[in-house]
Every structure is written in structure tokens, then in C-alpha cells.
Amino acid sequence: MTNHVHLLATPGEPGGVSRMMQRVGRHYVRYFNRVYRRSGTLWEGRFKSCMVAAEEYVLVCQRYIELNPVRANMVPGPSNYRWSSYHCNGLGKSVRLWTPHEEYLSLGNNEDERLQAYQSLFKAHVEPAVTESIRVATNQGLALGNERFKAEVEALTGRRVTARKRGPKRQAKAEPLDQDAKQFLL
């Protein structure tokens, strides 16, 4: 996109995505600053991410990403966007940095079947509610998947990956003081 990038990555080891983004931040920014004779940071802050339940959401996220320039009225279709992974996923272009996900590979028994099945996914846009759930999960660092997946991620990582209810936290009611406590306070 003109002001951001979407990546859908499956790490080969724990912390792999964070290390990849750190390297990009170090090396690409240095390259960019040298080429364009500038200095300083290139991005506004830390990258945003979410964990994705592959079986349910990998192909949905791929469609979300590849339809992003279409939603932004930059191009009429995903194949018209120069930087789109649709060229690999939907047209079969071989790219050194792209490895097909197993969910993509399960779309067919051979490349032609997979390409045809993948292209058929684009006959309808991603539902607005799904689009919003992807945005919320990414912006808030939540997990994208069913409740069982979210519970497993929380158990494995020890961190909350589900949204909390908005609004003020309920205060616990204070227990009434007994006579001894009242005398102590006086």
C-alpha cells in the first residue's frame, strides 16, 4: 500500500516474525535512508501483529491482504497491483521469497487445481465483519480464531489474546467493618 505493508508470515521458530521485522527495520531503513539521502526512522512505531488460526483464517487473511488495494480503489483487481502476492497465489508466478502455506496447498492436488480454486475465492469480497475482526485483532495484538484456539494461545503464551469488555472495571464491594475494626479506625 502507499503508507503500510501487510505481511502474512508463518514463523519457522519461536520469535521468528519479531526477529524478521527487527532485521527489516535495521537493514531496509539503512538502505532506504542511504538511497534517498535522508536520516531517521522510516516507520511510526512497532509493527502490529496477531496470531492466526491457520485452518480457519489463513486464506481469509490472504484474501483480505490481496484485496486491500482493490478496497482502496487503487486497482480494479488484485492481479493489477504490482506488489500483490496474488501473482503467486492466484496466477502461479514463482517468487523466491514466497512459500505456499499448507492451507493453500490443500486447495487442489496440482498447481492448476489450486490456482483455479484460489481464483474462485475472489468472486466475492471479504465480509465487512470479517474485515473488521482482522483489523481489530491486528491492531490490538489479539488472536484471530475460534474460542478454543484463543484459549490455547493464552495457555501457551501466558498472555491475554482476547478482547476485554470496554468500559470501567467493576469495583469489588467493601465488606462491612466489624466492631473491632471500627474502634481501631477511630
User: In terms of C-beta distances under 8 Å and separation of at least 24 residues, what long-range contacts does 21-29 make, across chains too?
Assistant: 21/47
pLDDT of residue 178: 55
Residues linked to residue 144 through DSSP beta bridges, in sequence order: 52
pLDDT of residue 176: 59
Q: Distance (Å, rounded) from C-alpha 71 to C-alpha 46?
A: 25
- Class of residue 83 by CB neighbours under 10 A (exposed 0-12, middle 13-18, buried 19+): exposed
Answer yes or no: are the C-beta atoms of 113 and 104 closer than 8 Å.
no
Q: Would the pLDDT of 177 be above 60?
A: no
CB atoms near residue 20 (< 10 Å): 15
Q: Distance (Å, rounded) from C-alpha 160 to C-alpha 137?
A: 12
- Tell me the per-residue pLDDT of 45-101, one tens digit each, with 9 for 90 and over: 888 999 999 999 999 999 999 999 999 999 999 999 999 999 999 999 999 988 999
Of 170, 81, 157, 162, the residue nearest 122 (C-alpha): 81
Mean pLDDT over residues 14-22, rounded? Answer: 91
Mean pLDDT over residues 1-23, rounded? Answer: 90
Query: Helix (H, G, I), strand (E, B), or coil: what is residue 98?
Result: coil
pLDDT of residue 142: 94
Domain ranges of the chain: 1-47, 48-157
Q: What percentage of the chain reaches a pLDDT higher than 90?
A: 66
Q: Distance (Å, rounded) from C-alpha 7 to C-alpha 48?
A: 10
Q: Would the pLDDT of 166 be above 80?
A: no
pLDDT of residue 186: 44
